[in-house]
């Protein structure tokens, strides 16, 4: 019989709805039940694409005997970390403090006030590799709760006090400078893998925010070292097994140094961020490899993650047929079966598929370490492999809509569609934005965002800081691509809420609103993880909003928030990559490009695309017909002599207007010839 989770909008929680465990969702009702029964709380946090979450579920949560013990001795709460990143952040911090490492599934034991007193991650059903068995751990916790309650409660109080005493250095009050950016690049060089690309050793995660910073830093300073690190990493990832050479899109991370074997789950945020980074690499250098990755990844997003409601699903699982990577790996024999003897052997050599295999069970991940000499043959082989693979059992899809991740996808697809003349991508971005407005914005009859939805039904969890920052950035990108000023207005509304309700009074931000349900502590962390932190997402969007509207208060908010970059940039630049991205924009101005033409002048489209191809970090664009005075950046800036005209400005102070398209391209760093296509 299904448990309480059957009513959830989270696919991860629904995966556990038929467990014999009497799960509760996070909320005061669960803690009230624990008080009534006088038992501790077991908190299990994970997400639908998590391989080891599935393993622990099959081994323990589907076991009648384990469930019976949990149901008798604990109140068990299941949390989807993607729906409740605030809960995840608080208890991950505690888990790291208690054990020195973290991960998912996260297993935390709490007292009646939500204070953690014991934590870990995956626990096997039997003692293994130095890990306690899950049942043995439950027995020990239950005994301790009955025999040493005072010590447990005191331990939980000490942990909460220790976490609350942690401080975030926010710099010396000065805005980060060009020197701070240079120091960050120097620090990254110390950690850079010059042979394989990336930073540090295995496991290697795509350093999306860091790569975006390096591209911007090169555009700003012509520092060849920055471009070298970015290009070496981008090429290594695009040619390795972490990239899906058949279907496009990136897996979550590589388990090895060489980007060969990934952890196969595909996350929306990774692919949105990487699509945009590769787009900006193409814009900066014209790399054919970068353009190929952009096109294939955009096709992947629309083909496999787009939902019926127009949004983008959160993730694809790593597993199918009960095995990780089964959908993606190939043996030489499978290639021959799909392609025939001649093409199969050719593909095996091209894609590094060997009899020994690079993965498991003699299978290999697909790598494209060189471009094939016969591009037509490769295109045909790739299409046939995609068709053959589509007949395999597919990985599960977490089809909930996460607001912030969709904001990242909207920005990437809108920009890519406009730059590469793919209107279907822009339409897809507009569809996702329409869904966020219709379902996520004002779900509770106010201007607040809800965090997630599914099947057009809003979830019950409130938006957190990164939802406001990333959705605002997506709306800003749509405004700059479409010229529809309602997107700029909506971005301003979201940023005003972020500043008013999430500000910490010291120039930074909390991750939750001032009126959000209380946790044992209010999470506050500027550091990026696999996706931009809310702190820096809002800072970036504030830089853009100020440049588009002339409202200086947004810039001031960004400058205050970015002071933390000074404290971290030189010693931990990868933790503040998205902050460094914003600082590069501030150092560049950012440029404000106003493009105007007489009504119905079709030439404005080419001028618009040229503006989008400019490489100055963080440049913003407003395009419109003469007289579009409702748009601040276009006000009192007419076309000259009846010709399309561009105004290049900083802080709403402009250089002489430009009526020559080639000269305009040169002034903004658009690649010569790209704007002529």
Q: What is the rounded average pLDDT of the residues 527-538?
A: 96
pLDDT in tens, 384-399: 999 999 999 999 999 9
Strand locations in 340-451 (E): 397-402
Give me the pLDDT at residue 171, please.
58
Give me the pLDDT at residue 116, please.
94
Residue 676 clears pLDDT 70, i.e. is over it: no
Give me the pLDDT at residue 595, please.
96
CA nearest to 436, candidates 458, 469, 415: 458
Query: For the chain, what is the mean pLDDT?
Result: 94
**80: its two tokens:** 């989807």
Residue 347 clears pLDDT 60, i.e. is over it: yes
Contact 444, 450 (CB under 8 A): yes
Which residues make Cβ contacts (< 8 Å) with residue 429, sequence separation at least 6? 409, 410, 411, 413, 414, 417, 474, 477, 478, 481
Q: Determine what percent of the chain falls in helix, strand and coil, rounding each to the nearest 5.
A: 50, 15, 35
What is the phi/psi pair of residue 660, to 5°?
Answer: -105, 120
Residue with tokens 């009126």: 515
Give me the pLDDT at residue 258, please.
96
Residues 169, 173, 177: CA angle, nearest 5 degrees: 100
Decide which of 322 and 95 is more confident.
95
Residue 383 clears pLDDT 90, i.e. is over it: yes
Q: Categorize the per-residue pLDDT at 677 as very low, low, confident or very high, splitting at 50, 70 and 90.
A: very low
Reported pTM: 0.95
pLDDT in tens, 89-146: 999 999 998 888 888 999 999 999 999 999 999 999 888 877 789 999 999 999 999 9
Measured between alpha carbons, how far is 167 from 319 in angstroms, rounded to an integer? 40
Give me the pLDDT at residue 49, please.
85
Q: What is the rounded average pLDDT of the residues 318-323?
A: 86
pLDDT in tens, 420-470: 999 999 999 999 999 999 999 977 667 899 999 999 999 999 999 999 999
Q: Categorize the per-residue pLDDT at 1 as very low, low, confident or very high, splitting at 50, 70 and 90.
A: low
pLDDT in tens, 479-522: 999 999 999 999 999 999 999 999 999 999 999 999 999 999 99
Give me the pLDDT at residue 356, please.
95
Residue 625 clears pLDDT 90, i.e. is over it: no
Measured between alpha carbons, how far is 531 from 545 in angstroms, rounded to an integer? 21
- Beta strands 592-597; 620-625: pairing state: parallel
What secondary structure does DSSP assign to 60-128, as a single string?
IIT-HHHHHHHHHH-EEEEEETTT-HHHHHHHHHHHHHHHS---SSEEEEE-TTS-EEEEES---SS-B
pLDDT in tens, 20-77: 999 999 999 999 999 999 999 999 999 988 888 989 999 999 999 999 999 999 999 9
């Amino acid at each position: 019989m299904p448990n309480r989770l059957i009513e959830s909008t989270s696919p991860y929680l629904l995966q556990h709805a038929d467990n014999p465990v009497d799960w509760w969702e996070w909320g005061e009702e669960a803690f009230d039940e624990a008080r009534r029964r006088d038992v501790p709380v077991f908190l299990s946090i994970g997400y639908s694409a998590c391989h080891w979450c599935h393993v622990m579920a099959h081994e323990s949560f589907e076991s009648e005997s384990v469930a019976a013990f949990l149901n008798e001795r604990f109140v068990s709460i299941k949390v989807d970390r993607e729906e409740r990143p605030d809960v995840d952040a608080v208890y991950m911090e505690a888990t790291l403090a208690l054990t020195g490492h973290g991960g998912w599934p996260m297993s935390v034991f709490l007292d009646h006030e939500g204070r953690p007193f014991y934590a870990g991650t995956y626990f096997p059903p039997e003692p293994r590799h130095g890990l306690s068995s899950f049942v043995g751990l439950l027995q020990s916790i239950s005994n301790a709760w009955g025999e040493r309650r005072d010590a447990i409660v005191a331990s939980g109080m000490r942990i909460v006090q220790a976490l609350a005493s942690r401080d975030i250095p926010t710099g010396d009050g000065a805005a980060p400078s060009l020197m701070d950016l240079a120091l960050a690049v120097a620090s990254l060089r110390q950690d850079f893998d010059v042979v394989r690309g990336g930073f540090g050793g295995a496991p290697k995660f795509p350093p999306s925010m860091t790569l975006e910073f390096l591209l911007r830093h090169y555009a700003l300073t012509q520092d060849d070292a920055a471009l070298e690190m970015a290009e070496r990493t981008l090429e290594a990832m695009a040619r390795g097994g972490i990239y899906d050479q058949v279907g496009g899109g990136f897996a979550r991370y590589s388990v090895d140094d060489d980007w060969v074997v990934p952890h196969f789950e595909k996350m929306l945020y990774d692919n949105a961020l990487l699509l945009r980074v590769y787009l900006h690499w193409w814009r900066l250098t014209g790399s054919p490899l970068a353009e190929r990755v952009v096109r294939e990844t955009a096709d992947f997003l629309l083909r496999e993650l787009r939902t019926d409601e127009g949004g983008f699903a959160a993730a694809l699982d790593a597993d199918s047929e009960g095995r990780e990577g089964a959908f993606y790996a190939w043996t030489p024999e499978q290639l021959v079966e799909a392609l025939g003897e001649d093409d199969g052997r050719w593909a095996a050599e091209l894609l590094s598929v060997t009899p020994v295999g690079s993965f498991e069970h003699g299978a290999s991940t697909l790598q494209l370490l060189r471009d094939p000499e016969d591009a037509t043959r490769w295109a045909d082989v790739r299409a046939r492999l995609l068709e053959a693979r589509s007949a395999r059992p597919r990985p599960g899809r977490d089809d909930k809509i996460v607001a912030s991740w969709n904001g990242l996808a909207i920005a990437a697809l809108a920009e890519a569609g406009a730059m590469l003349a793919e209107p279907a991508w822009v339409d897809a971005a507009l569809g996702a934005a329409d869904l966020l407005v219709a379902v996520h914005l004002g779900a509770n009859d106010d201007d607040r965002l809800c965090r997630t939805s599914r099947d057009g039904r809003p979830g019950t969890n409130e938006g957190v800081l990164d939802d406001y920052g990333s959705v605002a950035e997506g709306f800003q990108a749509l405004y700059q691509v479409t010229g529809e000023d309602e997107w700029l207005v909506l971005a301003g509304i979201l940023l005003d809420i972020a500043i008013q309700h999430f500000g910490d009074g010291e120039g930074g931000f909390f991750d939750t609103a001032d009126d959000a349900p209380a946790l044992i502590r209010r999470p506050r962390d500027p550091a990026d993880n696999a996706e931009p932190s809310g702190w820096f997402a809002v800072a970036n969007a504030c830089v853009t909003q100020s440049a588009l509207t002339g409202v200086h208060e947004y810039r001031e908010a960004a400058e205050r928030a970015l002071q933390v970059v000074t404290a971290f940039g030189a010693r931990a630049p990868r933790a503040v990559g998205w902050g460094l991205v914003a600082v590069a924009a501030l150092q560049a101005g950012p440029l404000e490009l106003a493009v105007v033409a007489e009504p119905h002048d079709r030439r404005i489209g080419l001028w618009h695309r040229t503006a989008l191809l400019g490489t100055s970090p963080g440049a913003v664009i407003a395009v419109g017909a003469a007289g579009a005075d409702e748009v601040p950046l276009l006000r009192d800036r007419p076309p000259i002599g009846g010709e399309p005209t561009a105004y290049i400005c900083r802080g709403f102070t402009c250089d002489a207007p430009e009526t020559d398209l080639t000269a305009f391209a040169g002034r903004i760093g658009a690649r010569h010839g790209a704007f002529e296509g």
